[in-house]
Each structure stands twice: as structure tokens, then as C-alpha cells.
């Protein structure tokens, strides 16, 4: 089967960790071991991944070095994170496959995701990124760079930059990605939702300060390359109704219709589970066979059925 796997950012760098290369490599290797088992079963994989913690660190480095080196814009930071995580995933997958005696080429692709600069998301930035700032720093950044700042939590440094999270319209590299995927290459693409770009009036691509949701980008790409299954791997066994209440219950096999209704009723949290459910719904509506939300350690059972959340036509 042709499977697009979306790996959660938290699967690679956990909250409260230092974020050393060794730590991140260790998480990547254990995630990749599970995925290599799927390849050993004969599946064809495309891997997309989150990049929130990694871009957060890159932005913090930007701030720390601001009086020595120019700040890099968000699109360039996104490209950096794709390169870094692509490298870790690619090397780890090559090692995991060769340890299993499998000769399958692995490649990561710097990926751009086209967005509409008139997307309503641009008038209400909602996605917090990068380090926390004090009120004075936040005001200074707002004035100097035009950043939108959002007050979160408590304490001295409690302001964060927020950026728009527009809809993915198209994956610019989808033809290259699709050709490699159909050839049976293990492709790593659209990391962090892809680098958001738009087309100028002359038709040129340009980066834009935004973040595309990685699950929505994964669905767009999965549909574009004709995948059978979209597999969203996160840190919970599946999607729950009434999450974190006494009435909490796991959503098992569910139709697109039920998912659409629950989404319109706001039954899932925006910024975490709602975009995953939306991504699954779109993928199945777009002709995909099944979309699955589960955790990394349940991946093989989830493909058999019986665990996790499965969205079907
Ligand atoms: P990822 O990096 O995998 O995209 P997210 O933090 O975006 O991770 O989404 C996973 C998180 O969503 C879980 O850790 C869980 O706390 C949260 N969550 C919110 N609502 C739900 C829900 N209805 N069912 C399950 N998890 C939920
Ligand atoms: Mg997420």
C-alpha cells in the first residue's frame, strides 16, 4: 500500500528536553524503526513531519545572535528545519533499512507549499512560534519588525510572536515527489507543512511569513500523489470525543459525514486535534481509502484495524 505518514513534532523533540542533536537523533531513530518495519512488510512510505520545536530553537538562535548576524526570515528558518530533520530521518531510515537487509532509496525534498496571500488567516495571525518575550521586548519587536505579538500564560516573559496559518493550496514539488513515490522511493517531504510561498503578480514564487498546518499539508500531498492511506502519528492513541472529561471516549471507525458534523460543532480543539480530523476528512473526500490517527507505538495494529481512529468513506 502507498502510505503517507505524518509524524508529530513531539515524536522527535519532547517538551522540557534540551534539544541536543543526540537527543533528537535518538527520537528519530526510534520513530524510524517503527516505520522501517512497515517498509519491511512491503509498504511504500512518504514521511512528512512537524517542525515546531526545531523552528522554535532556530528562531531563538536568531534572537541570541541578533547583534552579530542578520535575522533569517521564517521561510528560510523553515527550510533550515526541513534540511536538519530531513537529514536525520534520511540517514536513520537508510540505516534501519540496511539493518533489515532492504535496499530501498531514501530521499528528502525541500518542499514549498503555496498559500493565498488573501487567505483570511493573514488578517488574524493565530499560530504562536519561537521564544517568549517580556512586554518591552514584545513592543520593540512589534514596532521594529511589524510582528504580531500575543500574550500567553503568566510570568515576565509571556509574549510570543503569532503568525498566520493559511490553507495549503498546492504543494509546489508534488510532481517530483509523486514520481519518486511511485518509483518506490522512501520520500521525506513537506516537513513542517512545507515552506509557505505565494505567487507574485508576475507568477514568481516568494516566501511569506506564515506556518501551514503539517497535517493539512500532508493531506494535500497525499491526495496529490494518490496515496491509499494517510497515517497521522501523534502522542495519543487516537481522537477522543469529550477529551479530558469524564465522558471521554475514543473515536474508532467513523464516516467522513460524522467527522464533518463534529468539526462543524467544534467538538475537537483547534491547533491540535481539529486539523488532524479535518486533514483525514479531506483526504478521504479526495479519494483516499482510509485515514488513521494513532500513536507511533500502535502503528502496526492500527493498520490492521481495531485500534486508533479510522476515518472511512
Ligand atoms: P502533533 O505534534 O502530533 O501534531 P499536537 O499537539 O498538535 O501534536 O496534537 C496532539 C495533541 O492533541 C495530544 O497530545 C492531545 O493532548 C491533544 N488533543 C486535543 N484534543 C484532543 C482530542 N479530542 N483527542 C485526542 N487528543 C487531543
Ligand atoms: Mg500539531
- What's the pLDDT tens digit per position in 188-200? 999 999 999 999 9
70: left (phi over 0), alpha (psi -120 to 50) or beta: beta
Count CB atoms within 10 A of the CB of residue 262: 18
Count up the domains in the chain and report the number: 3
Residue after which a domain boundary falls, among 227, 253, 269:
227
Ligand 1 binding site (Cβ under 6 Å of any ligand atom): 8-10, 50, 234-236, 239-240, 243, 268-269, 272-273
115 grid coordinates:
498559500
Half-sphere exposure of 202 (CA within 13 A, CB side): 3
Cα diameter, the chain: 57
Q: Is residue 120 part of a domain?
A: no
Q: Can you tell me which residue has the cell 512518504?
A: 46
Work out the angle between the directed axes of helices 74-99 and 52-64 (0-180°, nearest 10).
130
- What's the pLDDT tens digit per position in 114-129? 999 999 999 999 999 9
Active site residue 2: no
> Pick the catalytic residue: 50, 127, 130, 308?
127
Say yes or no to pLDDT of 237 above 90. Answer: yes
Q: Do 297 and 154 fall within a single domain?
A: no
Q: How far is CA 231 from the centre of its chain?
A: 12
> Which of 10, 14, 49, 273 gets mutated to test ligand 1 (max ligand atoms within 8 A of its CB)?
273
Q: Are 208 and 117 in contact (CB under 8 A)?
A: yes
- What's the pLDDT tens digit per position in 179-233? 999 999 999 999 999 999 999 999 999 999 999 999 999 999 999 999 999 999 9
**What's the CA-to-centroid distance between 70 and ligand 1, angstroms?**
35
**What's the CA-to-centroid distance between 234 and ligand 2, angstroms?**
8
Active site residue 214: yes
Q: Do 107 and 242 fall within a single domain?
A: no
Mean pLDDT of 246-262: 97
How far apart CA 44 and CA 63 sit, in angstroms, is: 40
**What's the CA-to-centroid distance between 238 and ligand 1, angstroms?**
9
Q: Do 199 and 271 fall within a single domain?
A: no
Give the range of the structural domain holding residue 152, as residue numbers without chain letter. 125-163
> Pick the catalytic residue: 8, 130, 214, 220?
214
Closest residue by CA, ligand 1 atom 6: 272
pLDDT at 14: 72
In ligand 1, which atom is closest to the CA atom of 239? 24
Q: Are 187 and 233 in contact (CB under 8 A)?
A: no
CATH number of the domain that residue 15 is part of: 3.40.1160.10
SS (H, E, C) 80-122: HHHHHHHHHHHHHHHHHHHHCCCCCCEEEECCEEECCCCCHHH
How far apart CA 113 and CA 196 sit, in angstroms, is: 5
Q: Do 196 and 290 fall within a single domain?
A: no
Q: Do 140 and 267 fall within a single domain?
A: no
Q: Is residue 287 part of a domain?
A: yes
pTM for the whole thing? Answer: 0.96
Closest residue by CA, ligand 1 atom 25: 239
Q: Do 79 and 93 fall within a single domain?
A: yes
- What's the pLDDT tens digit per position in 34-65? 999 999 999 999 999 999 989 989 999 999 99
In ligand 1, which atom is closest to the CA atom of 235? 14
Say yes or no to pLDDT of 13 above 90. Answer: no
> Pick the catalytic residue: 2, 8, 9, 220?
9
pLDDT at 192: 97
Q: Where are the beta strands (DSSP E) in the chain?
A: 2-7, 44-49, 106-109, 112-114, 127-133, 148-151, 159-163, 170-171, 186-189, 195-199, 205-207, 229-234, 240-241, 249-250, 253-255, 290-295, 309-312
Residue after which a domain boundary falls, among 183, 199, 227:
227
Q: Is residue 97 part of a domain?
A: yes
Ligand nearest to the CA of 9: 1
Closest residue by CA, ligand 1 atom 27: 273
Cα distances (angstroms) measured from residue 139 to each of 63, 67, 158: 15, 18, 12
Amino acid at each position: 500500500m502507498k502510505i503517507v505518514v505524518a509524524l508529530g513534532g513531539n515524536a522527535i523533540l519532547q517538551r522540557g528536553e534540551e534539544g541536543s542533536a543526540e537527543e533528537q537523533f535518538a527520537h528519530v531513530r526510534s520513530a524510524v524503526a517503527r516505520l522501517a518495519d512497515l517498509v519491511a512488510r512491503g509498504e511504500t512510505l512518504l514521511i512528512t513531519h512537524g517542525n515546531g520545536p526545531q523552528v522554535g530553537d532556530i528562531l531563538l538562535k536568531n534572537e541570541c545572535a541578533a547583534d552579530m548576524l542578520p535575522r533569517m526570515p521564517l521561510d528560510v528558518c523553515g527550510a533550515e528545519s526541513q534540511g536538519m530533520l530531513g537529514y536525520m530521518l534520511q540517514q536513520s531510515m537508510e540505516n534501519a533499512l540496511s539493518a533489515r537487509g532492504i535496499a530501498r532509496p531514501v530521499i528528502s525534498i525541500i518542499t514549498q507549499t503555496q498559500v493565498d496571500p488573501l487567505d483570511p488567516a493573514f488578517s488574524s495571525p493565530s499560530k504562536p512560534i519561537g521564544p517568549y518575550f517580556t512586554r518591552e521586548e514584545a513592543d520593540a519587536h512589534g514596532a521594529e519588525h511589524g510582528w504580531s505579538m500575543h500574550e500567553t500564560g503568566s510570568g515576565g516573559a509571556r509574549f510570543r510572536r503569532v503568525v498566520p496559518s493559511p490553507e495549503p493550496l498546492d504543494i509546489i514539488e508534488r510532481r517530483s515527489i509523486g514520481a519518486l513515490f511511485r518509483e518506490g522511493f522512501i520520500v521525506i517531504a513537506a516537513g513542517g507543512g512545507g515552506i509557505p510561498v505565494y505567487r507574485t503578480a508576475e507568477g514568481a514564487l516568494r516566501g511569506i511569513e506564515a506556518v501551514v498546518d503539517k497535517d493539512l499539508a500532508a493531506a494535500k500531498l497525499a491526495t496529490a500523489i494518490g496515496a491509499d492511506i494517510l497515517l497521522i502519528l501523534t502522542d495519543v492513541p487516537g481522537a477522543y470525543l469529550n477529551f479530558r472529561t469524564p465522558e471521554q471516549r475514543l473515536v474508532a471507525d467513523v464516516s467522513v459525514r460524522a467527522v464533518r458534523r463534529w468539526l462543524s460543532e467544534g467538538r475537537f480543539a483547534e491547533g491540535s486535534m481539529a486539523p488532524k480530523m479535518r486533514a483525514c476528512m479531506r483526504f478521504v473526500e479526495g479519494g483516499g481509502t482510509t485515514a488513521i490517527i494513532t500513536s507511533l507505538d500502535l502503528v502496526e495494529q492500527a493498520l490492521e484495524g481495531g485500534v486508533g481512529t479510522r476515518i472511512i468513506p
